[in-house]
Amino acid sequence: EDKGGIRRRPPEEDERTGALVRDTRSEDAMRRVVLALDWTPNTTHSGLYVAKERGYFEQEGLDVKLVSPHVTGYKITPINLLDAGEADFALGTSEAIYGYSATSPKPKLQAVASVMARDISRIVTLKEDGIDRPAKLDGQYYASYASRFEGVVVKKLIQNDGGKGTFIECVAEDNDTWNMFLERESSACWVLLHWEGVEASMKGIELNMFALDDYGLGYTFLEVIFARTEKLEEDPDLAESFLRACRKGYTEAAKDPAAAAEMFMTAVAKEYKDHPVTLDVELVRRSQEIISQYFLDEDGVWGRFDRRCVDRNIDWLSDNGLLTRLIDSCSPNVGEGSSSGEPEGWGSDERIPREELDSRRTFTNRYLDNC
Summarize pLDDT for 3-35 with one digit per residue, the tens: 333 233 344 444 433 444 444 435 558 999 999
Percentage above 70 pLDDT, the chain: 83
Percentage above 90 pLDDT, the chain: 66
The C-alpha atoms of residue 355 and residue 187 are separated, in whole angstroms, by: 38
pLDDT tens string 33-50: 999 999 999 999 999 999
112: buried, middle or exposed (CB in 10 Å: 19+, 13-18, 0-12)? buried
Q: CA 44, 47, 51: angle at the middle one, nearest 5?
A: 150
Beta-carbon contacts of 278 under 8 Å, excluding residues fewer than 6 positions away, are none
pLDDT of residue 115: 98
pLDDT of residue 333: 41
Q: Which of 31, 355, 89 is nearest to 224 (CA)?
A: 89
pTM: 0.86
Question: For residue 268, what pLDDT band results from cuts at 50, 70 and 90?
Answer: very high
The C-alpha atoms of residue 83 and residue 227 are separated, in whole angstroms, by: 10
The C-alpha atoms of residue 325 and residue 101 are separated, in whole angstroms, by: 9
The C-alpha atoms of residue 90 and residue 37 are separated, in whole angstroms, by: 6
> Residue 272: how many CB atoms within 10 A of its CB?
16
> Residue 107: how many CB atoms within 10 A of its CB?
16
Is it the case that residue 354 has pLDDT exceeding 80?
yes
pLDDT tens string 91-144: 999 887 876 666 655 668 999 999 999 999 999 999 999 999 999 999 999 999
pLDDT tens string 157-179: 999 999 999 999 998 877 789 99
Q: CA–CA distance from 201 to each of 193, 196, 209 (Å)?
A: 10, 9, 13
Is it the case that residue 184 has pLDDT exceeding 60?
yes
> Residue 236: how many CB atoms within 10 A of its CB?
14
